[in-house]
Chain A
Amino acid sequence: MEYAAQQIINALSFGAEYALLALGLAIVFSVMGLVNFAHGEVIAVGGYTMVAFAALVTANPLIIVVGAVAAAALTSVALERVAFRPVRYADPTTGLLTAFGVSIVLQNLFLLFISPRPIAVTSLYFLDVPVTLFGVQISSLQIFESITTVVVIVGLVLFLQRTTLGLAMRAASLDFEMVRLTGIRANRVFALAFLISGLLAGLACIFIMARRGSVDPHFGFNPVLKAFVACVVGGFGSLPGAVLGGFLLGAVEVSMLVLLPQEYGGLKDAFVFGIIALVLVWRPDGILSPAKEKGDKL
């Protein structure tokens, strides 16, 4: 019983992390139809900022954390300005391949200017201490992670429902031309989407760093790969879908870890992706995919 409870909490915290990342991808996708492959590198920028802060400025974890989140958010906005603006109204494939290219450039820049090897940051380990809650042993990190994700989701929902810019962003995902006609600046909406996406990446970065403790050029790759899968399963472009997909993926991953015999451990990812593929057979566009008009849209 306790074991089951522990695994459920594991699944929830994994899921929370994936949901954070998937939300970051989905918010950009829903506004401009861009599959942001470079999201992982935004996370890596957050990681490297931690390294820089810890080495050069201060060991105060609060400052390090704030710095990392700010750096990730700024990077995300800067990428929109430099790389994604030219492909803003292009078809999704063009945007996807651009993001692909941006991701390769950034990865190699880390390689070129920083180091191909992992760099350790130890100042966040204090987040990860074991605590016993109702007789179940869990890590404090898992609690932080779950709470953060819930807060973020609530905040995002409030922002999208209650503010004018939030309304504009929701409208932008349906008909961008109309939004512009109402006098809202397209630049602002795009920048905001990337800002939110970068903030989410920064938050996720903190948790990944607290767990792994080091950053390398391919740092963001695996988490974002999972986030992509979460988005696809939930339905690309749907924010509730991204959250659902994230938690579903966390659940599948933990149950694979628990149920698979030890000697198949190396095949965990293959099984996870395989199961996800089966979900896609059932619903090719994801579980909560927004309804799509196939008629002529003028």
Chain B
Amino acid sequence: MTLTRGQKRGVLGACMLAAILILIGVLATFFASKYQLRLIYSAYVNLIVVLGLQVFMGNSRLTNLSHSAFMGIGAYAAAISVTPVAMKQISLPDAPWGLNAFALDPLTSAIVALLITGAIAFLVGIFIVRMTGTGATIATLAILVIVHSIFLYRTDIFKGNQAFFGIPQVFSLTSIVILAVVVVFIVRGFRESPWGVMLRASADDETGSAAMGVNVVRLRLIAWVLSGLILAGAGIAYAYFLGTISARPFYFNHVFLTLAMLIFGGMRTVTGAVLGTFAISFGLEVVRWLETGPVIVGIDFPEVLGLSGVMLGLVIVLTMALRPVGVMGDREIEELVLRDK
């Protein structure tokens, strides 16, 4: 198989990003405290979410606000499959359809969760990809609300806002770094694949690309389902590390957070997604520390709850006003290093 020039560069770029991800992971294992390890782990989970978002939003330029719901579906599907029967008898005594009478090993559970989320994403996607710009965005918002209200309503399956506990903790920082690297290669691979190129072309000029024989609806659907699978992966990794999940993290706050990450870095490129995730993850930690009212050089700062939210919103507004394409714009990481020819 011969690769095009763009694809060769894509492999190079993905390798560079992978190196950075691994480096951060290695540094974290050596220097981070237990609490910081958890923060870094959740940054990696968010990275996978943002990459999943980028596949769809970055290539088709339709705004998706339902991603946290798909992450939640993946997390719950895996959690329900993998939790030992004895545990589920306690946590889900009233579960229907014998959901509390079986347990699978982590790998099979992950595959089951991917299949379920993929199937749901496909069914929903059929409707979404036919809509245009704004309609599609609001429809994804509706999906988020529907999924969340089902999570909250079916407490016999999902426990609603209470914790679903007893999930075996099979993931470590190493596993999530590996997963993130794999996802980076998938996402970058999709961007440079013929599908990705055609999809990006259709986002730039829908009529023109359709005239050239691009089937926009089908390509969007492919990107949407791929995005759903990656988001499910993030959900599984989240559940497998924490050992406990609830419906609350899969709602608007998380949608805002991950969207801000993608927008800040620049949704058109994979590099932008990675940059945005780490910049905002670490930046937000600093703001949260300020929020608690620390003492800096002898001055006792007041406690300001909500400051992190204001900062997050400002990041979005300022990025949109000053540089709507994000920090990276159309440049991938290797283009910063290589000379243009």
Contact = CB atoms under 8 A, between A and B. Distances in A.
Contacts of A86: 320-322
Contacts of B321: 83, 86-87, 98
Given A97-B263, A267-B149, A277-B142, A111 B320 contact: no
Interface string A193-229: 0000000000000000000000000000000010011
Given A104-B310, A269-B146, A276-B142, 19 more contacts: A90-B320, A93-B133, A95-B320, A96-B137, A98-B320, A101-B314, A101-B317, A104-B256, A112-B304, A231-B138, A232-B135, A232-B138, A270-B153, A273-B145, A273-B146, A280-B135, A280-B139, A281-B127, A285-B135
Nearest to B126: A281
Interface in A98-120: 98, 100-109, 111-112, 116
A284 B135 contact: yes
A284 B136 CA distance: 9
B212 to A, nearest CB: 14
Q: Which 7 A-B pairs have the closest CB atoms?
A: A101-B316, A108-B309, A104-B313, A105-B313, A111-B306, A101-B317, A112-B306
B310 A108 contact: yes
A96 B63 contact: yes
A56 B93 CA distance: 53
B32 interface: no
A232 B145 CA distance: 15
Contacts of A112: 304-307, 310
Instruction: Classify chain B: how many residues form its interface, as a range.
Output: 35 or more
Residue of B149, B207, B305 contacting most chain A CB atoms (<10 Å)? B149
Interface string A276-292: 11001100111000001
A286 B135 contact: yes
B61 interface: yes
B37 interface: no
A146 B150 CA distance: 32
A194 B26 CA distance: 52
B316 A98 contact: yes
B305 A116 contact: yes
Contact of B207 (A92, A103, A294): A294
Contact of B306 (A96, A109, A229): A109
22 contacts: A29-B134, A86-B320, A90-B324, A94-B324, A98-B320, A101-B313, A104-B256, A104-B313, A106-B313, A107-B313, A108-B306, A108-B310, A112-B306, A231-B138, A232-B134, A236-B138, A270-B145, A270-B150, A273-B145, A277-B139, A285-B131, A296-B207
Contacts of B131: 280, 284-285
B284 interface: no
A98 B63 CA distance: 12
Contacts of B256: 100, 104
A266 interface: yes
Contact of A269 (B137, B145, B259): B145
SS class of chain A's interface: helix, strand, loop or mixed? helix
A295 interface: yes
Contacts of A104: 256, 309-310, 312-313, 316
Contact of A100 (B135, B150, B316): B316
Instruction: Classify chain A: how many residues form its interface, as a range.
Output: 35 or more
A295 B313 CA distance: 36
Contacts of A225: 141, 145
Contacts of B95: none
Contacts of A295: 207
Contacts of B310: 104-105, 108-109, 112
Interface string B268-297: 000000000000000000000000000000
A225 B207 CA distance: 31
B39 interface: no
A296 B206 CA distance: 10
Contacts of A232: 134-135, 138-139
Given A111-B306, A277-B139, A269 B313 contact: no
Given A105-B317, A270-B149, A281-B127, A229 B142 contact: yes
Contacts of B150: 267, 270
Contacts of B8: none
Contacts of B149: 266-267, 269-270
Contacts of A130: none
Given A112-B305, A270-B153, A274-B146, A96 B313 contact: no
B104 interface: no
A97 B63 contact: yes
Contact of A35 (B130, B134, B207, B322): B134
Contacts of B135: 232, 236, 280, 284-286
Contact of A280 (B63, B127, B137, B324): B127
Given A101-B320, A104-B312, A270 B304 contact: no
Contacts of A229: 138, 142
B33 interface: no
B246 to A, nearest CB: 16
Residue of A97, A104, A225 contacting most chain B CB atoms (<10 Å)? A104
